[in-house]
A and B are shown apart, each in its own frame.
Chain A
Amino acid sequence: MRAERHTPPLEDVLSSRGRVKVLKVLAEIGELYVSEISRRTGLNNTVTTRHLTSLAKIGLISEKRFGKIRIFQFQDLDPRAQAIKKLIDFWESERSS
Chain B
Amino acid sequence: MGSPQSVFKDESRLSIEYVPSHLPHRDKELRLLEVFFTSALENPGGLSQRVLITGGIGTGKTALSKLFGSRIEKTARGKGINLRYVHVNCRINKSLFTVLKRVLESLAVPFPQRGYSDEELLHSLLGYFDEKNVYLIIALDELESLVREEGSEPLYALTRVQEERINLPQRFSLICIVRRPEVFKSLDESTVSTLLHNIVHLEGYSLPQLEDILNYRVREAFRENAVRSETVSLVADVAGARGDARYAIEILWRAGKYADSEESLAVLPEHARKAAASVYPAVRRESLSYLGLHERLLLLAIARRLKQTESAYITMGEVEEAYRIVCEEHGKEPRGHTKIWEFVQELEDIGVILTKISEAGFRGKTTLMGLPEIPAAILEREVTRLLEAGE
Which residues of chain B are within 8 angstroms of A30 by Cβ–Cβ distance? 110
From 58 to 75 in chain A, residues with beta carbon under 8 angstroms from any chain B beta carbon are 64, 66-69, 71
CB closest chain-B residue, reference A34 = B112
Contacts of B112 in A (CB 8 A): 33, 35-36, 69
Considering residues B111, B116, B125, B127, which has the most beta carbons from chain A within 10 angstroms of its beta carbon? B111
Is A29 within 8 A of B110, CB to CB? yes
Given A67-B120, A68-B116, A69-B116, are A33 and B110 also a contact pair (CB < 8 Å)? Answer: yes
- Asked whether B128 is an interface residue with its Cβ less than 8 Å from the other chain, the reply is yes
What bracket does the count of chain A residues touching chain B fall in?
10 to 19
Residues 36-78 (chain A) with a chain B CB within 8 angstroms: 36, 64, 66-69, 71
**B-contacting residues, A1-48, CB 8 Å:** 29-33, 35-36
Min CB distance A31 to B, Å, is 5
Contact with A along B187-224 (1 / 0, CB 8 A): 00000000000000000000000000000000000000
Interface residues of B in 107-124 (CB under 8 A from A): 110-112, 116, 120-121, 123-124
Smallest beta-carbon distance B383→chain A, Å = 38
> Does B131 sit at the interface, judged by CB under 8 A?
yes
Query: A31 — which chain B residues lie within 8 A by C-beta?
Result: 110
In the complex, the answer to whether A66 meets B110 with C-beta atoms within 8 Å is no
| Min CB–CB distance B108 → chain A (angstroms) | 9
- Contacting pair B111 A33 (CB below 8 A): yes
Contact residues in B for A71 (Cβ distance below 8 Å) = 110-111
Q: How far is the CB of B131 from chain A (nearest CB, A)?
A: 7
Contact between B131 and A66, CB atoms less than 8 A apart: yes
Taking A31-B110, A33-B111, A36-B110 as contacts, is the C-beta distance between A66 and B127 under 8 angstroms? yes
CB distance from B26 to the nearest CB of A (A): 38
Q: How far is the CB of B193 from chain A (nearest CB, A)?
A: 29
* Most chain B CB within a 10 A radius of its CB, from A35, A64, A67: A67
Given known A-B contacts A32-B110, A35-B112, A68 and B124 have beta carbons under 8 A apart: yes
Residue in contact with B127 in the complex, picked from A33, A36, A67, CB distance below 8 Å: A67
Query: How many angstroms between the C-alpha atoms of A35 and B113 in the bound complex?
Result: 11
Q: Residues of A at under 8 Å CB distance from B? A: 29-33, 35-36, 64, 66-69, 71
What are 21 A-B pairs at a CB distance below 8 A? A31-B110, A32-B110, A33-B110, A33-B111, A33-B112, A36-B110, A64-B131, A66-B111, A66-B123, A66-B125, A66-B127, A66-B131, A67-B127, A68-B116, A68-B124, A69-B111, A69-B116, A69-B121, A69-B124, A71-B110, A71-B111
A-B contact sample (8 more), CB < 8 A, given A33-B112, A35-B112: A29-B110, A31-B110, A36-B112, A64-B131, A66-B123, A67-B124, A69-B111, A69-B116
